[in-house]
Amino acid sequence: MAMVSTTPNFAPPQTSVAQAAGPATTRDPRLDSFRGIAMIIILFAHTPGNFFTSWIPARWGFSDATEMFVFSSGMASAIAFGRTFERAGWGLGTARVAYRCWQVYWAHIGMFFAIAALLVGLNALGPFDRDYVGQLNLYPFFNDTMPEFLGLLTLTYVPNYFDILPMYLVILAMMPIVMALSRINLWLTGAVVFTVWLFAQHRILDSVGAGHLALSLPAEPWSDRRWFFNPFGWQLVFFTGFAFMIGWIPKPPVNKWLIGVAALIVIANIPLSNIGVRAINREWFGLVLDGNPVIDWRVDNRIWITKSDFGLFRYIQFLSLAYLSWVLVGVGGARLIVQGTGTAARIWDRIITILMKIGQQSLAVFVFSMVLARFNGFWLDQWGRDATWHTILVNLVGVALLIAVAYGVGWIKSQPWRVAR
Q: Is the pLDDT higher at 144 or at 119?
A: 119
Q: Is 217 exposed, middle or buried (0-12, 13-18, 19+ CB in 10 A)?
A: middle
Q: What is the pLDDT of residue 378?
A: 94
The count of C-alpha atoms lying within 13 angstroms of the C-alpha of 169, restricted to the half-sphere facing its C-beta, is 21
286 pLDDT band, cuts 50/70/90, is low
What global pTM score does this model have? 0.88
Phi, then psi, of 283 in degrees rounded to 5? -115, 115
* Helices and strands counted in the chain (H then E): 20, 2
- Residue-wise pLDDT for 333-353, tens only, equals 888 887 777 888 888 889 999
Task: For residue 3, name the pLDDT band (cuts at 50, 70, 90).
Answer: very low
Per-residue pLDDT tens over the stretch 241-266: 999 999 999 999 999 999 999 999 99
307 pLDDT exceeds 90? yes
Share of the chain above pLDDT 90, in %: 64
The C-alpha atoms of residue 394 and residue 405 are separated, in whole angstroms, by 17
What is the average pLDDT score of the chain? 87
pLDDT value of residue 287? 56
Q: Is the pLDDT of residue 420 over 70?
A: no
Question: Is residue 282 pLDDT above 60, yes or no?
Answer: no
Domain ranges of the chain: 17-283+293-413
| pLDDT of 381 strictly over 60 | yes
> What per-residue confidence (pLDDT) applies to 391?
92
